[in-house]
Amino acid sequence: MKILHILETAFLEAGGPIEAARNMGIVWTRNGHSHDIVCLDPKGPMSLPDYPGTITALGVPRGKTLGAAYRYSPDFVPWLRENAPKYDAVIVSGLWRYQTRGALVALRDLGIPYFCFCHGMLDPWFRRRYPLKHLIKQVSWWLAEGPLLAGARRVLFTCEEEGIVCDKAFWPYRLNGISGGYGTSDVKGDPDSQIAAFRAHLPSLGDKRYLLFLSRIHEKKGCDLLVQAFADVAATDPDLQLVIAGPDQVGLVAVLQAQAQKLGIADRLHFPGMLKGDLKYGAFRAAEAFVLPSHQENFGIVVAEALACNTPVLISNKVNIWREILADGAGIVEPDDQAGTTRLLRRWLEMTPLDRKNLVDRTRPCFLKRFHIDQVALSILEIIQKYSA
C-alpha cells in the first residue's frame, strides 16, 4: 500500500505523533509498503533520522498570517486535492488545528479511504481544565472534527482506555473507533556507553542515584506534583536525586526551580533540557525508575521507551496504558493527585531489593509483548488494509 500521513508538525520535539509516524513508516517500508508525510511546518527541506519516506512541509512562517497558531496554510487543501489520489489511504493525525479542517474539505469528495488518530485530544481532562476552550472546541467539532471523524473508515485509538475515556466527549459523537495499539522501536546502542554519555552531559548529577522524569515539561504532566512528592520523601533517602528532562515550551522550569528552592531540595534536582539519542537512552538506563504523574496522557511513548530500557515505571492512572502496566507487573500506578504521586515514590523506596528486581525483570517482556513498534505497525496496517477495501 501507499499511505499518506497528515500531521501538524514533523519536528521530533512535538512528541508522540511524529515519533510514531516515523517508526511506522520504517516498518511499513521494510515490509514492502510506502509512507509519506505532509505537515504544516514552514516550507523548506525536512528530514528525519532513518525515515524512508518523503516529507512535504506546506506551512507558512509562524506569525506571518492570521491564525498562525492554528497552522493555517492556503496551500494545504490544493496540495491534498492534487496529491491524495496518488495514495491508497490517508491517515489524519491530531485535532483542533488546520490539518483537520483542511483534510475534511479536501478528502470528503475524493472517495479516498482515510483514518484518524486522535492522540488523546478528546480526553475529558481538557474539558475540565479548560472549560472555555471546550466551548470553542464544541463549535469546531460541529464544523470540522465531528464530520471528519464521522466520515473516517475507522478512528484509531492507541489503547482500549482511550476509547473508554473519550466516549461522548462532544455532541454529536459519531465515529467508528478501534484500538490499533501504539508503540516505539526498540532501543539500540551500547548501554554502558549511553550511560557514560548521559552522566558526562550532566556533571552536576555525578554518579548519584536518581529518579527520572522525561517528557515535555508542561502543567498536564504533573511536574509540580512530582517536585512536592520528592520533597515529601527526600529525607528517607538523602542520596537520591531527581532528574526532570525535556523541552520547556511554556517556561515552567523556572517555576519548578523556585518550588524546589522553597522546599529545600533545589540541590537535588537537575534539569538537563531535552535529551535525544544516546543521551536519552542513557538517562533511561541509569535511572532507578521512571516517573510520569500526568493528569492526561493518551499513551506515553516515553513509558514504552523506559520499559524497553529495563526501567520500571511509576505512573498515574491517567496514563492510558496503566492497565497494561499493572497487568504485566512492570510498574506502580497511583492517582494523579498529590497524595497519589507521593505514594508512587514512597512505594518504590519501601520495596525490598528482591521486589525491585522482580519489577525490573518484567519491564522488557512487557515492552516486547505490547509496545514494540513492529507488532503495532503491522496491526495498524492490517486495519487500514481491511477497512480500505
**C-alpha count within 13 angstroms, C-beta hemisphere, residue 297:** 29
Q: 10 Å Cβ neighbour count for 296?
A: 21
The yes-or-no verdict on residue 144 having pLDDT over 70 is: yes
Q: Label each residue of 11-31 as H, E or C.
A: CHHHCHHHHHHHHHHHHHHHC
Give the length of the chain. Answer: 389
> Tell me, what's the pLDDT at 165?
81
What rounded mean pLDDT belongs to the chain?
92
**Amino acid in position 108:** R
Long-range contacts of the stretch 30-33 (C-beta < 8 A, 24+):
31/378, 31/381, 33/1, 33/2, 33/3, 33/381
Statement: residue 63 has pLDDT above 80: no
DSSP state of 145: I
C-alpha cell at 101: 479542517
Residue 153 has what pLDDT?
96
pLDDT(65) > 80: no
Helix (H) or strand (E) holding 89: strand 89-93
Model confidence at 17, pLDDT cuts 50, 70, 90, reads confident
Counting DSSP H helices and E strands in the chain, the numbers are 17, 13
For residue 44, what pLDDT is reported? 87
pLDDT greater than 70 at residue 15: no
List, in order of start, the domains of the chain with CATH numbers.
2-185+372-388 (3.40.50.2000), 191-370 (3.40.50.2000)
Q: Look up residue 120 and give its three cell numbers.
A: 488523546
What is the C-alpha separation between 30 and 21, in angstroms, rounded?
Answer: 14
- Tell me, what's the pLDDT at 246? 95
How far apart CA 264 and CA 258 sit, in angstroms, is 10
Model pLDDT for residues 301-342, shown as the tens digit of each residue:
899 999 999 999 999 999 999 999 999 999 999 999 999 999
**CA-to-CA distance for 207 and 92, rounded, in angstroms?**
44
The pLDDT tens digits of the residues spanning 81-101 come to 999 999 999 999 999 999 999
Strand pairing report for 177-179 and 114-117: unpaired
Q: What is the pLDDT of residues 115-134, one digit of tens each?
A: 999 887 887 777 878 888 88
Q: Is the pLDDT of residue 61 over 80?
A: no
**Residue corresponding to grid cell 488546520:** 98
Q: Write out pLDDT tens, residues 339-389.
A: 999 999 999 999 999 999 999 999 999 999 999 989 889 999 999 999 998
- Identify whether the C-beta of residue 55 lies closer than 8 Å to the C-beta of residue 46: yes
Helical pair 16-30 and 301-308, crossing angle rounded to 10 deg:
60
Residues 166, 249: Cα–Cα separation, whole Å: 26
Per DSSP, the residues of 174-219 read ---EEE----BPPP-S-HHHHHHHHHHH-TTTTT--EEEEES---G
Contact 183, 304 (CB under 8 A): yes
- For the cut 90, the answer to whether the pLDDT of residue 68 exceeds it is no
Q: What is the pLDDT of residues 257-311, one digit of tens each?
A: 999 999 999 999 999 999 999 999 999 999 999 999 999 888 888 999 999 999 9
pLDDT grade for 19, boundaries at 50, 70 and 90:
confident
